């Protein structure tokens, strides 16, 4: 029996489907779990943990590497609004809660016991962005 594993989670179906397409183009069998439920009722995102990109366990490392390379190539084309250089980096901050109550609260509010915040930083000037800067 083939086992699937969630490699990424999303709060919106557009990003989920874009990355699903990237993985499928490489011939990796994958699907989105909870996509329809969370598209209809987004208030369930914390309870279900978001839309999950599921891939075969044996293909997980290949799919993750492909998605990271895709993210890097995309960021190489975005200029920093402060200095104008093409040196943006993705920064992932993970916060692991300690203790039963903190983990339970995070699970209820965020859908996960580990909080992950993604931001962006210009390698050249050091300016930080909460989202990819637009011109």
Residues 65, 17 within the same domain: yes
Give 59-92 pLDDT, tens digit per residue: 999 999 999 999 888 888 999 988 989 989 888 8
Domain interval for residue 28? 1-72
Residues 2, 27 within the same domain: yes
Q: Tell me what pLDDT residue 29 has.
A: 94
Provide the pLDDT confidence category of residue 111 given band limits of 50, 70 and 90.
low
Residues 66, 6 within the same domain: yes
Residues 62, 88 within the same domain: no
How many domains does the chain fold into? Answer: 2
- Residue 58: count other Cβ atoms within 10 Å of its Cβ: 11
- Alpha-carbon distance of 6 to 92, in angstroms, equals 18
* Length of the chain measured in residues: 135
- Alpha-carbon distance of 75 to 104, in angstroms, equals 35
Residues 4, 23 within the same domain: yes
Q: Tell me what pLDDT residue 28 has.
A: 94
CB within 8 Å of 64: residues ≥ 6 apart:
7, 8
Residue 20 confidence (pLDDT) above 80: yes
- Say what the pTM is: 0.73
Nearest CA among 59, 66, 57 for reference residue 5: 57
Nearest CA among 99, 7, 12 for reference residue 54: 7
CB within 8 Å of 110: residues ≥ 6 apart:
46
Helix (H, G, I), strand (E, B) or coil at 5: strand
- Alpha-carbon distance of 112 to 83, in angstroms, equals 36
* Range 42-66 average pLDDT: 91
């Amino acid at each position: 029996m083939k086992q699937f594993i969630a490699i990424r989670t999303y709060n919106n179906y557009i990003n989920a489907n874009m990355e699903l397409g990237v993985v499928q183009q490489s011939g990796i069998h994958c699907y989105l779990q909870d996509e329809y439920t969370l598209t209809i009722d987004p208030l369930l995102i914390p309870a279900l943990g978001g839309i999950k990109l599921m891939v075969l366990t044996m293909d997980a490392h290949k799919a993750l590497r492909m998605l990271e390379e895709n993210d890097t190539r995309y960021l190489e084309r975005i200029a920093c609004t402060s200095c104008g250089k093409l040196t943006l980096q993705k920064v992932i901050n993970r916060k692991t809660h300690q203790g039963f109550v903190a983990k339970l609260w995070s699970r209820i509010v965020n859908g996960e016991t580990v909080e992950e915040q993604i931001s962006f930083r210009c390698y050249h000037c050091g300016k930080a962005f909460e989202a990819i800067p637009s011109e």
